[in-house]
Chains A and B, each alone.
Chain A
Amino acid sequence: MDIRAQVSSVFHLDKCIGCHTCSIACKNLWTDRRGNEYMWWNNVETKPGTGYPTKWEDQEKYRGGWERAGSQLRLKQGGKASTFGKIFHNPDLPTMDDYYEPFTFKYADLTNAPAGTDQPTARPVSMVSGKPMKIEAGPNWDDDLSGSTVYAANDPGVIELSKEQQQQLFAIEKMVMFHLPRICNHCSNAACVASCPSGAIYKRGEDGIVLINQDKCRGWRMCVSACPYKKTYYGWATGKSEKCILCYPRQEAGEAPACFHSCVGRIRYLGVLLYDADRIEATALKADAELTAAQREMILDPFDPGVIKAAREGGLADQIIEAAQASPVYKFVKQWGIALPLHPEFRTLPMLFYVPPLLPVLSSKNQGTQKIGDDFFTSLEQARLPLKYLAGLFAGGNEEEVKAVYRRLIAVRMQRRAESVGDLSEAELLNARELSGLSREALDAIFRMTSLTRIKERIQVPPMLREQAIEAGMETDEYQQGMGFGSRKAPKRRW
């Protein structure tokens, strides 16, 4: 057993209102620089939709992630020899149009334009060429189902559905959507790390944050194509690739990452997970439908004395083990089993989990007056978003996984309804609990964690123990005087 700690997250999609505050917080903090205009380390997508970059989920096009080759895993874009062969012309990169051409507006014209007969307007100009342009795409172009006949209809998950299901999905009175915020998943089997010819990408040993060493990066861009989530980006001004750093400088100061901190809907939870690194390969080799369960299996119980012992032997500090015990992510993923990884079939073992959205079940028959209890459980198959679609997103096509989560989420709602409205019988509640497999206390805890917690309970930034790490290597005075806030070096190659 090789126990590692991973700073991991849960996004509760029922709570996401699609306000993009997270994206703006991240943009202002990290990617508000020349050459990075098009980068959104955090972006919020509308589902159904094709996302950013367009159709990123379609690996037949982008060739990201892993695939099984016999008893081994292989990068879908090719092995070492293949990478070397195309090192000067990586054929699998998204084009600028697939992200979007970054634009701004000539705001100065509003006040500086000479007097005329018309109102002055602020024309859009490209941030790449500086010339006036026609805006045809953006990082949230299909926001709130806009352009749905093009974008939502071509969602790789929607295409998988039958014609009948597709029609149902887009019928006016049944129209449905939800938001999907995305950051780097800080995968435990990261494809970007494996693809880098320069060895510049690494997963931090102490917390599993995946980082690109800007001194070692040579801008080959193999990570850009290898990441199936398209969450590494090439910086055109620096000639280096960049990605979400999970705000590790903020975390080292005890703060939540910016997107977590700014989240209006309070959908984001953060905490440490302990997992067994020896099981990564075996887990990633499972069949598509088994991947979600196998990954859950890989995550270890921080209360188990055997795990604690092995963790200590592996060099994990007691504070980290305590943080893992307090982690809300552990509760969501393991104890309650209501958070699932996004697209586990890419086999990168993403360490960001989503509580799938519990969209209203159809109730057209009685104008919303149908009884909640029995109907909920019998009508899951008629949910406005087909289970097949959600299973394609969160469970490698395994509908049972999504169903199990929904049974639990519904049981929470029923228990709350019984408490606040009081129109459900104890028999119905018991039935709901039995189907969900969770106790009354667990359901209450889910309710509490979902609705009533404060930021310090939702976001448990672990002690990063930087002081100890620095002290181990050098005198603290020396570090302060020598390093300051770290080194800032301009890249040798600029244009």
Chain B
Amino acid sequence: MKTRGWRADICRLILATLIALVLPGAAAMAIEGDAARGAQLYAGSRAMTNGGSPCVACHALTGFGSAGAANYGPDLSNLYADYGAEGVGAVLESLAFPSMEAIYASRPLTSEERLDLVAFFAQTAEQQAAPATSLTGSILLGVVIVFAIVALLGLRRLKGVRRPLVDRVRKQRGMRA
């Protein structure tokens, strides 16, 4: 495409160099995919050729924030580190997981898409950022904060007048409450 000119080429070159430095074994595979296109496929801004769902629908990944952190599938932040380039490519091709099989068996990823995604995962593995915060966690935290505020407000609540009055008088006179 025209929009990807020399700039993208330089990016690819730098990326490839970086990957080659850290993961010499993966460099050969990664260099063939386009990480930027992979990112678009992952996020769903570019449709899969055969109509498969974008990865973001089910997975969380560092850099996508809590809004992009779905939790149907596992967090993919450490995917590349765990599986390596071949592993990721193989999983995307063979659809080893039943839930992914149901989605992609009839709408398989093309080999180009798989390579792009592998390149993208390779790129994110480089970033080594903090793992994505889960949406559930954020909601729970929010609920706890709201409840804490309500509880604080509730401290001023009128907790009864007669009972404390009677108890106080009885205590003053040394009677059993």
On chain B, the residues within 8 Å of A136 by CB distance are 166
0/1 string, A78-103, CB within 8 A of B gives 1:
00000000100101111101100000
Mask of B130-159 contacts with A, CB within 8 angstroms, 1/0: 000000000000000000001001101111
Contact A149 B165 (CB under 8 A): no
A93 to B161, CA, bound (A): 11
A415 within 8 A of B: no
B163 at interface, CB cutoff 8 A: yes
Question: A45-64 toward B: CB 8 Å interface, digit per residue (1/0)?
Answer: 00000100111001001100
CB proximity of A35 to chain B, nearest CB, Å: 21
Check B169 for interface membership: any CB of A closer than 8 A: yes
Residues of A near B166 (CB, < 8 A) are: 136, 150
Given A149-B169, A150-B169, A154-B169, do A137 and B162 touch, yes or no (CB 8 Å)?
yes
Tell whether A89 pairs with B165 under 8 Å between CB atoms, given A62-B158, A94-B158, A95-B160: no
What is the CB-to-nearest-CB distance from A122 to chain B, in angstroms, rounded to a whole number?
25
Q: What residue in chain B is nearest A99 (Cβ atoms)?
A: B162
Q: How far is the CA of A91 from the CA of B154 in the complex (A)?
A: 7
Inter-chain contacts of A150 with B (CB < 8 A): 165-166, 169
- B153 A89 Cβ-Cβ under 8 A: yes
A150 to B168, CA, bound (A): 9
Residues of B within 8 A of A94 (CB): 158, 161
Known contacts A93-B158, A98-B160, A54 near B165 by CB under 8 Å: yes
Docked Cα-Cα span, A118 to B161, in Å, equals: 39
> Which residues does chain A contribute within 8 Å of B165, judged by CB atoms?
50, 54-55, 150, 154
Contacting pair B162 A91 (CB below 8 A): no
Q: Is there an interface contact between B159 and A95, defined as CB atoms closer than 8 Å?
A: yes
Residue pair B161, A54 in contact (C-beta under 8 Å): yes
B157 proximity list for chain A (CB < 8 A): 89, 91
Contact B161 A55 (CB under 8 A): yes
Query: In the complex, which residues 18-33 of chain B have their Cβ closer than 8 Å to any Cβ of chain A?
Result: none
Most chain B beta carbons < 10 A, residue from A55, A62, A91, A153: A91
Interface residues of A in 147-167 (CB under 8 A from B): 149-150, 153-154
Closest-CB distance, B95 to chain A (whole angstroms): 50
Chain B nearest CB, measured from A351 CB (Å): 27
Of B153, B158, B165, most A-chain CB atoms within 10 Å: B158
CB–CB A86/B153 < 8 A: yes
With A54-B165, A150-B165 in contact, is A91–B160 under 8 Å at CB? no
Q: In the complex, are the beta carbons of B161 and A91 less than 8 A apart? A: no
Bound-complex Cα distance A150 to B166 (A)? 6
Q: Look across to chain B and name the residue whose beta carbon is closest to the beta carbon of A91.
A: B157
Q: Which residues of B contact A149 (CB under 8 A)?
A: 169
Distance of A95 Cα from B163 Cα, bound (Å): 10
Q: Is the pair B158, A89 in contact by a Cβ cutoff of 8 Å?
A: no
- Which of A61, A86, A89, A153 is B161 in contact with, Cβ under 8 Å? A61
Q: How far is the CB of B162 from chain A (nearest CB, A)?
A: 4
Please give the distance in Å from A362's CB to the nearest CB on chain B.
28
| A77 CB, nearest partner CB in chain B, Å | 11
| Cβ contacts A to B, 15 pairs, < 8 Å | A53-B162, A54-B161, A55-B165, A61-B161, A86-B153, A91-B156, A92-B158, A94-B161, A95-B159, A95-B160, A97-B160, A97-B163, A98-B162, A150-B169, A154-B169
Known: A95-B158, A98-B161, A150-B165. 12 other contacts (CB 8 A): A53-B162, A54-B161, A62-B158, A62-B161, A89-B157, A91-B157, A91-B158, A92-B158, A97-B162, A149-B169, A150-B166, A153-B169
**Top 4 closest A-B pairs, CB basis?**
A54-B162, A91-B157, A95-B160, A150-B169
